[in-house]
A and B are shown apart, each in its own frame.
Chain A
Amino acid sequence: MNVRIACLQDRGSLKAEAEQLDLGEIHEYPLTSFYDLNFVKQLRRLVRFIKENEIDVVHTHCFYTNIFGMTGAYLARVRGRLTSKGETDGFRTPMQKRAERFSFRLAHRVIANCLVVQQMLIREGVNPRRIIQHYNGLDLDRMKVRPGSDA
Chain B
Amino acid sequence: MKPNVLFIIDSFEQGGSERQALAAAAPATRERPGECSHRLLTGSRFAKG
Contact = CB atoms under 8 A, between A and B. Distances in A.
Given A1-B31, A10-B12, A84 B3 contact: no
Interface residues of A, number: 50
Interface in B23-42: 23-26, 28-29, 31, 36, 38-41
Given A23-B29, A69-B8, A132 B22 contact: no
A120 B15 CA distance: 22
Given A5-B25, A56-B5, A62-B17, A10 B44 contact: no
A54 B3 CA distance: 9
Given A1-B3, A59-B40, A14 B17 contact: no
B8 A68 contact: yes
A64 interface: yes
A8 B4 CA distance: 20
A61 B12 contact: no
Contact of B25 (A10, A23, A84, A113): A23
B6 A61 contact: no
A1 B46 contact: no
10 contacts: A1-B28, A2-B2, A3-B29, A5-B25, A7-B9, A18-B22, A59-B8, A61-B10, A111-B40, A134-B39
Interface of B: 2-26, 28-29, 31, 36, 38-41, 43-47
Interface of A: 1-15, 17-18, 21-23, 29, 49-50, 53-62, 64-65, 68-69, 79-80, 82, 84, 86, 108-109, 111, 113, 132, 134, 136, 139
